[in-house]
Amino acid sequence: MKHGRRNLRRTIRLAAAGGLLCGGLMVTNAVAGETTGRATDAGVHASPTADLGSRLVARLGASRTAGNWTDARGRPVVAVTDEEAAAEVRRAGARAEIKRHSMRDLRSATETLSKAPRVPGTAWAMDYAANRVAVYADSSVSAADWSRMTDVVGRTGGAAHMERTGGSFTTRLNGAAPMLNGGGRCSAGFNVTDGRDNFVLTAGHCGPVGTSWFPDQRGLERFGTTVASSFPGADFSLIRYEDADAFDGTGRVDVGGGQAVAIVGAAEPFVGQEVFRSGSTTGLRSGKVTALNATVNYREGTVSGLIQTTVCAESGDSGGPLLAQGLALGVTSGGTGDCTSGGMTFFQPATTALSALGVRLIGGGTTTGDASGATAGGATGSVVAPPAVVPPGGRGSFASFTSIAGLRPLVPGLLVITVSLIGLLAVRWFLSDRADRRRYRRQYAQSWG
């Protein structure tokens, strides 16, 4: 009996020690994953979930896959064209969906659309989950143009699909902090630098090179001038700070209510990602990424390579920042709808703009405490961590970055460590209690001996 109890205690101790070791490794790996998952100014970033899907797509190739995304539960999903590829995806830990059209088919469809005569008021993007190129036509597209676009879509072999969308695809000229140029209003995007001068990264359609910018309608104190711009084709520009007092030296973004988010780097978004946009007209709004490499035919010209989202935006929000967990994702280009009825909004990817312009993001500073001058508009208030989930289309509250992204991956490892410690304490208490009882029996026997 005693031998059996000793073996049981030894087994519990070994199991608890193994649990502590395992839990420690889990926490270490989670921390490492969070660290490597962060972006740098070069934009080297992908979430672990999105990264798994991207690696599988790269490994299997464009003829056997048709994109990847994350589902509503945050799991990686990869579209494949055959059962063998699906089995490989499942073995890697992702969910597979077998589709008819490959990525080559979808790319061929977008090339067909791009070569057709341009129709203002149309847009298209690959819908990975639906396995087709979604072609949108807004209310300004005439019946004759709709018919012509339908003929073009018919030549894609079923890889594209036409649909009407409400409103009109427009640039959102007229944010983070507001910027005025005498003829319209835009929103500041991100503070960037080339190592010598400091700039605001914003949308290209906000104004050509030479445009002067002012923080208010008085137009008395110019804070900067546009020195580089690309639109159409792409949609980004640089405004060089000329007023030293307008630049606070940080990489924060105004999100309304006297609060700002510290930007820690740039990142590539992924389909299904929860994102946030700030603008001077509608403030902080949230939604999800629905497509990448989207093309929009604005009246002013065609812009390609855009991020498509369900975030709403209105006039004056142009150039404002798109972000997630303190990472710069893009600047607002345009879209359709509004923040009352909803709509879709497109963004110029930040990493593309930074690379083309030869600039980098300015570090985000602290994540707590008070700070002033968050953006060119001179907003003041506290710096907050990236916002928690906000209902789509609505304004939201804020939560600490640790609670959003830091602790969640650590929970499994911390749970294993906690259970192991409880096991060790239980064994220790049990042994201590038995020793106390033995001492009591000896003393009792001696007192009666």
Q: From the candidates 230, 237, 318, 333, which is the catalytic residue?
A: 318
d(CA 414, CA 435): 32
Annotated active-site residue 101? The verdict is no
Closest CA to 133 of 116, 149, 153: 153
The owner of tokens 């934009």 is 43
Q: From the candidates 205, 237, 280, 333, which is the catalytic residue?
A: 205
Annotated active-site residue 194? The verdict is no
Show the 3-state SS of the chain. CHHHHHHHHHHHHHHHHHHHHHHHHHHHHHHHHHHHHCCCCCCCCCCHHHHHHHHHHHHHCCCCEEEEEECCCCCEEEEECCHHHHHHHHHCCCEEEECCCCHHHHHHHHHHHHHCCCCCCEEEEEECCCCEEEEEECCCCCHHHHHHHHHHHHCCCCCEEEEECCCCCEECCCCCCEEECCCCEEECCEEEECCCCEEEEECHHHCCCCCEEECCCCCCCCCEEEEEEECCECCEEEEEECCHHHCCCCCEEEEECCEEEECCEECCCCCCCEEEEEECCCEEEEEEEEEEEEEEEECCEEEEEEEEECCCCCCCCCCCEEEECCEEEEEEEEEEEECCCEEEEEEEEHHHHHHHHCCEECCCCCCCCEECCCCCCCCCEEEECCCCCCCCCCCCCCCCHHHHHHCHHHHHHHHHHHHHHHHHHHHHHHHHHHHHHHHHHHHHHHHHC
Annotated active-site residue 229? The verdict is no
Q: From the candidates 138, 235, 248, 254, which is the catalytic residue?
A: 235
Closest CA to 243 of 220, 269, 223, 213: 223
Which residues touch 170 (CB under 8 Å, ≥6 apart)? 298, 299, 315, 334, 335, 336
Q: What positions carry a catalytic annotation?
A: 205, 235, 318
